[in-house]
A and B are shown apart, each in its own frame.
Chain A
Amino acid sequence: MSRVHTVSAQLDEPAASIGAKARGLAELHRLGLPVPAAVVVTTEVCRGVLGTGRLPDGLVEEVTSALGSLPQQVSVRSGAADSMPGMMRTVLDVAVHPGGPNAPLADALREVFTSWDSPRARTYRTLHDIPHDRGTAAIVQVMVDGARDDHSGSGVAFSRDPNTGAPAPFGDVLFGHRGDDVVSGRVRTRPLGELAGREPAVWAALTTALDRAERRLRRPCYVEFTYESGRLWFLQLRPAQVTGLAALRIAVDLADDGLIDRPEAVRRTTERDLDRARTPTLAPTGADVVAGQGIGACPGVVSGRVATSADAAVRYAAGGPVVLVRPETSPHDMHGLAAAVGILTTRGGPACHAAVVARALGRPAVVGAADLDVDPVAGTVTTRTGTLAEGTVITIDGTTGQVVLGHAGAVVDDAGPHRDRLLDWADEISGDHTPRPGPDRLHDAHTALRTEENR
C-alpha cells in the first residue's frame, strides 16, 4: 500500500488513510475545479512517526518527486479523518528544491504529524469521542499567493447562508491578502459579495463552482479559496455545518430544487433543529443596515448603545441598555461585561475569554467580528458601512453572529412557511394527520422512515 498519493480525481482512498481534507480536494478535482498541485502522506506514516519519533527513510524524496515540477513554495497541513479544527499544526512557506537535502520539508512534516499528540489535541479528542490511535494525514500543497498583486486575494464561502439558510453565496473575502491573515486577525475581512464588483470573473467562477459542488454533494457546501492574479484556486471543500432555522430552510429548498426528495428533507431535519428554529434570531430586512458579521457565541438578540470600554459601559448602563464592543476582553473588562446586555468582540473564536464569560453571565455575545475595528481610545467602531461613535444603538444576534445598526425590528422566527411545509411532508410519511406538536410529527415520520429502511 502506497504511503504517498498524488491528489487527483482518481484518488479514492478511505478517509481513515488520507483524511477528510484530501478527500475534499479529490472531490474538487472530480468537479473539474482548479486545485493547486498536492500530495497527501497517509495516517499510517503518522502512526509510525508517533511511535519512532522519526520520518521513515526516503519519505521526503517520495513527496518531492510526487509534487513534480520544482522548486516550489509549499504548505504542509494536517488532515485527519475526523474534523479537529485548529488543533494541529500548519506550516506555510516551506521551500522545496530538487534533489539536495530537504530539511525544511522534513521538519514541517514531523511537526504536523507530532502535533496529533499535542495535549490540546488529546483533550479535544477525549471530549469528542475520537480515538487517540488514528493519526493525521499530511497534505503538502503548492502555495498560491493571495497577496501577489491587486487582482489577488483569499476567502471562505458557503453555498448558502449558514445563519439564515438564504439561497445565496455567503462568506468573507480578503482583497490582496493570504488566507492566514484572516486567522491572525491582522486584516479586516469584507463580505463575500464585494468580490462581484471587484473581480467579476473570479466571482462568476466561484458561484458556478459552489453551485456545481452543491449539486454533487446534495448538501450546502463550504470552500476555501485563493485567487492569484485573477486566477481562482480551491484549497478546501466540505459539507457546510448548519443547524436550526438554516438547516430546516435548506432541507426544504433542496427538495424544491430537486437535489433531494421530500423524505430525505424530513430525514435530515432533527427535532433539535425544529427547537432551535424557534430561538429568536435577527431577520434583517432591506431597511436594516448590516454593519458586521461575527461568530455567535451565546444565543439571544439584544439592542443597546455602543460602549468601547468597560468604564463607559458602566457609565452608559445608568441610562439604558449597553452593548460592550471590544477587540477582545480581559479581567479588566469584567465590570463592563456585567453592566452590558450584550458583548461584541472583533477577535477570538467560540472559546475565547469573552465567549466563556458571556455564557457564564448569560449575555448574548458575538465574537470574532473581523470586519469591525474598535478604537477604544477614540471611542469609535469602524464598520462595513461607516464609523460609529459611542452611544450609537446597535443590535447583535448571538446565534447568527449578525450586527445590525439601530433597533432591528425584525426579530422573528423566519422558518414559519418552511417549517409548515416540512411538517406536512412528515405527516405524509407517517400517515398521521392529527394535530399535534411539531417535534412529535417529525419524530413519527423518522420512525416510519426507519421502519421502511429495515423492511
Chain B
Amino acid sequence: MATTTPLDLLVLHTLRCTGHTDLGRLAAATGLPPATVESELLDLAAAGLVVHATGPFASWGLSARGRAADADRIAAELAAAGTGPALTAALDRFLELNPELLDLCTAWQLRGAGGATVVNDHSDPEYDARVLDRFVDLDRRAAVVCEELTAALGRFGRYRPRLALALRRVRAGDLREATDSTTSFHTVWAELHEDLLTTLGIPR
C-alpha cells in the first residue's frame, strides 16, 4: 500500500536532501504551492527544526534538531511501510548508474582533445548530441529505478518528473540544465542520491 508522507515531513525532508535552499526551489522539489511550503516552513521554524539564514547566502536550512527529527521520522515512515529491503535493492541499482551519470556530466563539461582535457565550449553540436544521446539512454534506465523507488515509498515519485524536465530543457537548448543550474539533471540526481542514503540511514 502506498505511503503518503505528511506535508510537514515532506518539506522537512526535502530540505534535508537539497541542503540550504530558497522557497522557490523547495516548492519545485516538493511539488507543492509556494504558499503551502512557506506555511509549513514557518511552523517548522516555530518548532525549532528549520532556520532562515539572512545575508548574502539567505536561505532555509535544517537546525541540528531538525536533522535529528528528520532522521527519526523518515526511519519510522520506512519501518511502517515495511519496504526497506525493496528500497535497498533499488539503491543498489541506482548506485550502478551513478558513476555513469557522473562520467556523462564530466563529458558534458570537459572533452578530451589530443590527450589533453579542455572545457567543452558547446561549439560542436555533434559532440553535444552524442553526450545527450547517452543522457537520454541513461535516463531511460533510471526511469525503471525511479518506478521501483516510488513503489516502495510514494514520495520518491517526485524525482522522475524533475529529471525528465531537466532533460527536456537541455534538449530544447538550455545547456545549463544538464549540470550547471540548481534545477539541472545533475542537481536533482544528487538530491535523489542523498535522499536514498538518508532514508536508509546510510552514512556517507
Which A positions have Cβ atoms within 8 angstroms of B? 119-120, 123-124, 126-128, 241, 243-244, 270, 272-273, 276, 310, 314, 317-318, 327-328, 330-335, 338-339, 350-353, 355-357, 359-360
Which parts of B1-34 form the interface with A (CB within 8 Å)?
Answer: 16-21
In Å, the complex CA distance between A128 and B112 comes to: 8
Query: Is B47 at the interface (CB under 8 A from chain A)?
Result: no
The 8 closest A-B pairs by CB, nearest first: A335-B20, A120-B100, A351-B106, A360-B180, A332-B19, A243-B116, A351-B102, A356-B105
Which of chain B's residues have a CB closer than 8 A to the CB of A328?
204
Contact between chains at A350 and B194 (CB < 8 Å):
no
A272 and B116 contacting across the interface, CB-CB below 8 Å: yes
Minimum C-beta distance from B135 to chain A (A): 9
Distance of B35 from chain A, by nearest CB (Å): 24
Residue of B18, B117, B141 near A119 (CB, 8 A) is B141
CA A127 to CA B204, docked complex, whole Å: 30
Residues of chain B within 8 A of A241, CB atoms compared: 115
Interface flag for B103 (CB, 8 Å): yes
Distance from B111 Cβ to chain A, minimum over Cβ atoms (Å): 8
Instruction: Verify B19–A333 contact, CB threshold 8 A.
Output: yes
Quick one: given A127-B130, A127-B131, A318-B55, are A355 and B106 in contact (CB under 8 Å)? yes
Query: Are B20 and A127 in contact, CB atoms less than 8 angstroms apart?
Result: no
Q: How far is the CA of A125 from the CA of B74 in the complex (A)?
A: 40
Q: Is the CB of A127 within 8 A of B99?
A: no
| Complex alpha-carbon distance, A241 and B137, angstroms | 31
Contact, CB under 8 Å: A244 / B190: no
| Cβ–Cβ < 8 Å partners of B182 in chain A | 334
Say whether B131 contacts A359, CB under 8 Å. Answer: no
Distance between Cα atoms of A359 and B56 in the complex (Å): 21
**Contact in complex: B102, A331 (CB < 8 Å):** no
Contact partners of B149 in chain A: CB under 8 A: none
> B67's closest neighbor in chain A, by CB?
A332
Q: Given A119, A128, A314, A355, which contacts B100 in the complex, CB threshold below 8 Å?
A: A119
B186 at interface by CB-CB < 8 Å: yes
Pairs across A and B, CB under 8 Å, 25 listed:
A119-B137, A119-B138, A120-B103, A126-B133, A127-B130, A127-B134, A243-B116, A272-B116, A276-B116, A310-B19, A317-B57, A330-B194, A331-B17, A331-B194, A332-B194, A334-B20, A334-B182, A339-B56, A339-B57, A355-B106, A356-B102, A356-B109, A356-B179, A359-B110, A359-B179
Interface size on B, as a range, is: 35 or more
Interface residues of B in 97-156 (CB under 8 A from A): 97, 99-100, 102-107, 109-110, 112-119, 130-131, 133-134, 137-138, 141
Chain A contact residues, majority secondary structure: helix
Q: Is the interface of B mostly helix, strand, loop or mixed?
A: helix
Shortest C-beta distance, A216 to chain B (Å), equals 20
Known: A120-B96, A123-B137, A310-B19. 15 other contacts (CB 8 A): A127-B107, A127-B134, A272-B118, A273-B116, A314-B57, A317-B57, A331-B187, A332-B194, A334-B182, A351-B106, A353-B102, A355-B106, A359-B110, A360-B179, A360-B186
Known contacts being A128-B112, A353-B190, A360-B180, is A334 close to B103, with CB within 8 Å?
no
Given A120-B99, A353-B102, A360-B180, residue A338 in contact with residue B116 (CB < 8 A): no
A270–B114 touching, CB < 8 Å = yes
Rounded to whole angstroms, the CA-CA distance of A128 and B180 in the bound complex is 22
Contact call B53/A314, Cβ cutoff below 8 A? yes
- Which residues from A are CB-within-8-Å of B117? 243
B56, B57, B141 pick with most chain A CB within 10 angstroms: B57
Q: Does B59 contact A (CB under 8 A)?
A: yes
Instruction: List, in ascending order, chain A residues with CB within 8 A of B66's CB.
Output: none
A331 and B109 within 8 A (CB):
no
Contact B53 A331 (CB under 8 A): no
Whether A356 contacts B186 by the Cβ 8 Å rule is yes
Given A120-B103, A338-B57, CB of A310 within 8 Å of CB of B20: yes
- Cα A123 to Cα B130 with chains together (Å): 10
- CA of A350 to CA of B102 in the docked complex: distance in angstroms? 9
Tell me the complex Cα distance, A339–B55, Å: 12
Find B114's partner among A124, A128, A272, A360 (CB 8 Å cutoff): A272
Question: Which residue of B is nearest A273, CB measured?
Answer: B116
**Using Cβ atoms and an 8 Å threshold, which residues of chain A touch B119?**
359
Name the residue on A nearest B127 (C-beta): A127
Q: Which of B97, B109, B116, B141 contacts A359 (CB 8 A)?
A: B109
